[in-house]
Structure 1
């Protein structure tokens, strides 16, 4: 792997996983020392991150991790909705029903992951990613997949905002179970309806004022689909 590709991959992962928070300065000297590469590969990696919208130039400060605003979250879901609905409709018609039935069973039992300790929420997000991949593979539409890639990159950042809210994650698990069940039955209309419910609830959670001990709103983190 080229040094610039390695730097890009590591920085991208750190941004998506919130190890590098919105607004954090991505100085070439510090990042090259941290990643063990020269400044030129870091500069190339930062240019790619800016092009993706994960970083942004900041006057007088170089490049910083981009913020996630309420407007950005709404715009993201505006584009995400038709793409996800198209994908599940295709997957319902073309997919292996047994694959989705097995995933539905896993979502039905995923409460122990969400409420448990020791990386359970990471395992739950891994389950969500497996459902996404199963839908992509079943849809068999490379143009749709290409259109979804940048959306999912930013969605991965937003999803992390739901980590502090197990109640939302439990509701999300039930919603994903319903999507998987509809796909296992080959019912395109029900799969789309279930996806619309899930996306609506996810967006409302992100846009709603924080309650309880954990503030998970985008503004709180300066600037998770749950």
Structure 2
């Protein structure tokens, strides 16, 4: 077996692991797997249609991110939504998002800038239709482009678990949310990154975090 063949196999394994991760994350974020529910590997494999190895790797990453808890004698459980700690999470997330936005404004390729604007436009359309599932999918897509564009894997690795927790928190209390306002905040972020203005991108990132903080205060009031 040649080195090129081995490399292609490794790429395919990573791709399947990423697919498994995204599929399980979506099940958790949209409460199809509810807090406290047991995580049964065989059931997940059947549900997402991927093999044991990528599913197991995805579960390990989800344990590391805090979405799944590993408990003695109880196995894997979907973690609770930490309502009391959510403001602390947003406080920690804010400087990371600011850094990522600044880096993306400087480093994004023309194709990535166009992709960010397209994602933001689709978010606005989904918000107008009140299509929350589509809104969340495009939100996730926008994050992926932004993270690739920033070219700072350490910042991305640090912020990802927080984003996932925020996505689940938003979905759990979505009846209190204003998706139109959220779409506008994302659109402003995409526009400033696409323009290459790092200062404006940082301010837009802060505005998005303020929007999420106001939503959290409304939930816990």
Query: Given the two structures, how large is their TM-score scaled by the length of structure 2?
Result: 0.70
Q: Is the 8 A contact 2:90 2:213 kept in 1?
A: yes
Q: Closer, same or farther in 2 for the Cα pair 1:135/1:32, shift >3 Å?
A: closer
Match in the other structure for 2:182? 172
Structure 1 unaligned segments of length 5 or more: list them: 210-216, 220-226
Deviations 1:176-226 (A, max 9, x none): 1111111122111111111111111112212314xxxxxxx6x9xxxxxxx
Deviations 1:16-75 (A, max 9, x none): 33111112344x5xx646756xxx999998776544422336688655322112233122
Structure 1 distance, partners of 2:115, 2:76, is: 44
Secondary structure in 2 matching 1:64:
strand
Q: Closer, same or farther in 2 for the Cα pair 1:46/1:191, shift >3 Å?
A: closer
- The equivalences for 1:9-158 within 5 A come to 9=21, 12-26=25-39, 32=42, 35=45, 49-56=62-69, 63-96=76-109, 99-100=112-113, 103-104=116-117, 107-108=120-121, 110-116=123-129, 120-158=131-169
Structure 2 distance, partners of 1:34, 1:103, is: 32
Q: Is the 8 A contact 1:162 1:169 kept in 2?
A: no
Secondary structure in 1 matching 2:77:
strand
Structure 2 unaligned segments of length 5 or more: list them: 1-12, 47-51
Deviation (angstroms), 1:90: 0.8
More helix, by proportion: 2
Deviations 1:82-120 (A, max 9, x none): 111000101111113564356436535644422427xx3
Structure 2 distance, partners of 1:173, 1:203, is: 15
